[in-house]
Structure formats: structure tokens, C-alpha cells
Homo-oligomer: A and B are copies of this chain.
Amino acid sequence: MATTIKEVASKANVSIATVSRALNDGSKVRPSTKESILIIAEKLNYKPNIIARNLVKKNTSIIGLVLPEIQGDFFTDIIKGVDEVAYSSKYHIIVASSHSERPVVESLMNFMGRSMVDGVIIMSPLINDRIKEIIKKSDTPLVIIDCVSPIENVDTVNIDNFQGAYAITEYLIKNLGYKKVAHVEGPANNNDAIQRKAGYIEALYKNNIPIKQEWIVPGGFTSDGGRLACSRLLSLIEKPEVIFAGNDMMAAGCYKAIDSLGFKVPDDIGVAGFDDIFLSEFLTPRLTTVHIPIIEIGKSAARLLINKIKNGKDHKPKHLKVSTGIIVGESCKFQK
């Protein structure tokens, strides 16, 4: 059994209140008594019971982080960003990754309104009605990363997917001179995927390039999906000159397909991606892609949340849009 404040108090011949004050150095305690209390506490290896403190203070200094199925380094970076800011404000983070057996909904229910955490950051490209309902019912501060439709009174941090996709597509067309640009798209119900596709289409449209449906193929945001999609594109009679994959994982899959068919990137076909995940730097040739400041997103979300926790009702919901940038690799080249 751990030492309690009572034992320290009795050994020090003071009341528990004084011990509490001495340790939290709040109000005036005579230096000499404070010192002797500190010494006794140290000798007894006394550590205040956080739970008891939380109960009376009504806060836990813990932030709940609900993530979609964790894979790759994307989430490590989110965690890192959140953790960094959380740490500097003395918060801990509880991570709940989602998977088939634990939907986002469940993690959310566990966190919201049971006073286990002071606030929640949820990342989910798909917010359904069930989730919305839970959010409405609870008054736990919340920040959503990457949500589709803003929910009232909830802070959001979004990636500017549309702009990123538009920019890289236009870069391929205007700067490099590509005319035949294909797109491997992500899951149909995924907001990121939808926005990126929209950016791609808009860029083609604005540059007077007709949209060709057979050059838009689904890849499910996975490496394998990208590989298959790419094979399909390469088997077409009229092949595209460059493939803009909706994310880097699919772009990596494209590399595999291109390699296995004996083609070369970028000589035979160009490849571009989206996300700039850790992996992309190590693909040969280095992938041209859209960079997302992932750590920064985590940090922003954490800042927003902590702000909300501290300011309570006075807090006006903010909606951050994180902009992207193009990483020029060697996977696309100038078309003469």
C-alpha cells in the first residue's frame, strides 16, 4: 500500500491540510514546517494519489486521442505533435486506435462524459450520425481532425486536401507539361479521398484538359490497391503519362506495378502522391508528392483543445485549415 497524506501528517505532527499545502506550495506555510514535511514525505516516498486529487479538482489532466486504424508513420506523427504540446501544458494522453473490433464510436463513448479525460481529440475522415449524437450529448471539450461537415460548437483542424491536389495536378500540367494525367482515388466514403479527387478534376478543368473516366481508378488508399490500379492503367490502350495517386501508399504500390511490368519511373511514366509520408523519401526515385505538416496538425489540435479546456464556455469554436506544399522529387519529369 502506498503512503498517504495522513501518514505524512501524523509523522510530521501537522494536519493533512498543512501537508497538502506544503506540497502544492499554494498558500503560506511556515518555511520550517514546510521543509520538515518535505523531508518526511521524501523519506516515506510519498506520492500524492492523483485519482483522489482528480476527484476533488474535477479534472484529470488527460487528453483522449481517438485515431482511425493505426498504420505506418502517419499516426506516430500525430501522436508526437499532440504529445509535445500536451506535455508542455502538463497533460497526459490516452491513445485509442480504432479497428474492426473497436469502432471510433466506442472509444468516444468511453471518453466523453465519464470525466476520465479533460478533453478529446478525434481523427476520423468519416463522422457518422451516431458519432454526432454522442458529441451533442456530451459537454467534454472536443477537437476533430479532418472532419467532413463541421459540427456546431466543435473545433476542427482540416487538411486542405482540395488545394493540395489542385496544386500538384496543376504543377504536373503547367510546370512539367503533362497532358495525360490519371488519378488513383481513395475510398469513396473517405473525405480526404473525395476532396483530393475534386482538386484533381478542378485542375484538369481549369487547364482545359478533358476528364477521362477510365483514367480515374480506385485504389482504396492501400499500397496493394495502388499496385492493382496502376496495372489497370498500364493495360489501357491509351496510357496516361503520369499517375497522381491519392496518397503515398498507393503511389508506392504504383512503383511496384511499374517495376514488375518492366517500366521505369519517370521515363516511361510519372508518379505523384499525397501525404509525404516517411516512406516517400526512400522510394527510388524520390516521390514527388504533397507535403502535409502532420506533426503540426497534431500540435494545432492539442493547442485548440487545451485552450478550450481552460477557457470553458467562453471559447468560440475555431476551424483551422492546414495548407500543404509540393515536394519536388524525381518521379515526374519535364515533358518536351
Chain A residues packing against B (C-beta within 8 Å): 2, 45, 47-52, 54-55, 60, 62, 70-73, 75-76, 79-80, 83-84, 87, 92-97, 99, 101-102, 110, 113-116, 137, 139, 223, 252, 255, 259, 278-279, 282-284
**Residue on B nearest A90 in the bound complex, by CB:** B110
Question: Which chain B positions have C-beta within 8 A of A252?
Answer: 282
Partner of A51, one of B45, B54, B70, B92: B54
Question: Which chain B positions have C-beta within 8 A of A259?
Answer: 284
B72 touches A79 (CB 8 A): no
Q: Give the secondary structure class of A's interface.
A: mixed
Number of this chain's copies in the assembly equals: 2
B72 touches A75 (CB 8 A): no
CA distance A255 to B285 in the complex (A): 12
Minimal beta-carbon separation of A84 from chain B (angstroms):
8
Given contacts A73-B76, A79-B95, A95-B79, contact A116 B284 (CB under 8 A): no
CA distance A173 to B49 in the complex (A): 57
Minimal beta-carbon separation of A113 from chain B (angstroms):
5
A113 touches B47 (CB 8 A): yes
Partner of A95, one of B2, B60, B83, B99: B83
Given contacts A49-B114, A70-B79, A279-B279, 11 further A-B contacts (CB under 8 A): A2-B115, A47-B113, A50-B114, A72-B73, A79-B95, A79-B97, A83-B97, A95-B95, A252-B282, A278-B279, A284-B284
Question: Which chain B positions have C-beta within 8 A of A73?
Answer: 71-73, 76, 278
Q: Which 3 A-B pairs have the closest CB atoms?
A: A50-B116, A47-B114, A47-B113
CA distance A92 to B111 in the complex (A): 10
What would be 29 A-B contacts, judged by CB atoms less than 8 Å apart? A45-B137, A47-B113, A48-B114, A49-B55, A50-B114, A50-B115, A50-B116, A51-B60, A55-B55, A62-B94, A70-B76, A70-B80, A70-B83, A71-B76, A73-B73, A79-B79, A79-B97, A83-B97, A84-B99, A92-B94, A92-B110, A92-B116, A94-B95, A252-B282, A255-B282, A259-B284, A279-B279, A282-B283, A283-B284
Minimal beta-carbon separation of A231 from chain B (angstroms):
17
CA distance A15 to B48 in the complex (A): 32
A76 touches B72 (CB 8 A): yes
CA distance A99 to B295 in the complex (A): 15
